[in-house]
Amino acid sequence: MITKSVASERLSAAGSQPFEAVALGYARVSTAEQSRSGLGIAAQRSAIDGWAASRLGQFAVEHHEENGTSGMVAPEKRRVLSKLLNRLADPADPAEVLVVSRLDRLGRNVIDVLDLMDRAEREEWSVVMLDLGVDATTPGGRTVATVIAAMARMERDMTSERTRLALAERVAAGVRLGRPVSDETRAAARRAEALAADGLTLRAIADALTAERFPRATGDRQRPWNSMAVNRALHTLHLDREAEAKAADASSSAPAAGAR
């Protein structure tokens, strides 16, 4: 993979003038009124231009704006910002810095912003958030950005571990995970089990369930059964019984009420 710095050196060597890295200035307004009037965009652009001027021509700034978009929308789901992120990830594109005047222009969801910082570190581009003084194009700013990205990874890992432990605890208590199963689906599963006990193949069981107009798990009575659907129905009963057994074990191992 060609890193952004290597791409910059190659582009500089290919041109007759000193290479300027491209900084993508991103401005956003959320309300319909702001979208129509442009309120706030000018101030954001001015702040970004001031940052570029302070870098003494090191960066050529491209301004991009997103109108009428809430900060609660994830960055990768915004029409403009998602395109900028794709450019930053492309080693052949000279864009290597994303600049915003305020953190909340990137997002109002802290996890989304932390994930974006983590992505910037992995893909080797920089984020500048002027209101926080975070400028990952400088040594000090890179240190801050690295710490933030590490915090994002740690939070994501901790969330995954908490989720895993919570699910394991529910399973141990006999809670059946997955989407709810209807009574009709269980009836079809019990019928399939009875037919299997009589020695019918999955294909024959599917034909019988179709003829008897048992609905599929989706509730569709018109769609014919097939071997895979029968197998899933039988597995449903297996999961039910497994959950019941675990619930019984959990109940029997629990201390009796009032016990000391």
Is residue 29 in a domain? yes
In this structure, the answer to whether residues 26 and 90 fall within a common structural domain is yes
DSSP codes of every residue in 200-257: --HHHHHHHHHHTT---TTS-SSSPP-HHHHHHHHHHHHHHHHHHHHHHHHHHHSPPT
Are the beta carbons of 96 and 4 closer than 8 angstroms?
yes
What residue type is 240 in one-letter code?
D
In this structure, the answer to whether residues 103 and 187 fall within a common structural domain is no
Domain around 202: 183-249
**Per-residue pLDDT, 25:** 96
d(Cα 216, Cα 231) in Å, to the nearest integer? 12
Q: What is the pTM of this model?
A: 0.53
Please count the structural domains in the chain: 2
Question: Alpha carbon of 182 to those of 83, 209, 228, 236, 238: distances in Å?
Answer: 43, 16, 18, 11, 15
> The dihedral of CA 158, 164, 167, 173: what is its sign?
negative
d(Cα 186, Cα 192) in Å, to the nearest integer? 10
202 CA to centre of own chain: 39
Angle between the 227-253 and 139-172 helix axes, to the nearest 10 degrees? Answer: 80
Are the beta carbons of 174 and 244 closer than 8 angstroms?
yes
**Per-residue pLDDT, 10:** 37
**Per-residue pLDDT, 231:** 87
In this structure, the answer to whether residues 151 and 187 fall within a common structural domain is no
In this structure, the answer to whether residues 143 and 194 fall within a common structural domain is no
Q: 136, 155, 174: which is the final residue of a domain?
A: 155
- Residues assigned a catalytic role: 30
**Per-residue pLDDT, 11:** 40
**Per-residue pLDDT, 79:** 93
Which residue positions in the chain have pLDDT lower than 70? 1-20, 32-39, 145-146, 148-149, 151-153, 155-156, 166-181, 218-220, 250-260
**Per-residue pLDDT, 181:** 67
**Per-residue pLDDT, 138:** 81
**Per-residue pLDDT, 58:** 87
What residue type is 247 in one-letter code?
A
Is residue 173 in a domain? no
**Per-residue pLDDT, 7:** 41
**Per-residue pLDDT, 255:** 59
In this structure, the answer to whether residues 138 and 72 fall within a common structural domain is yes
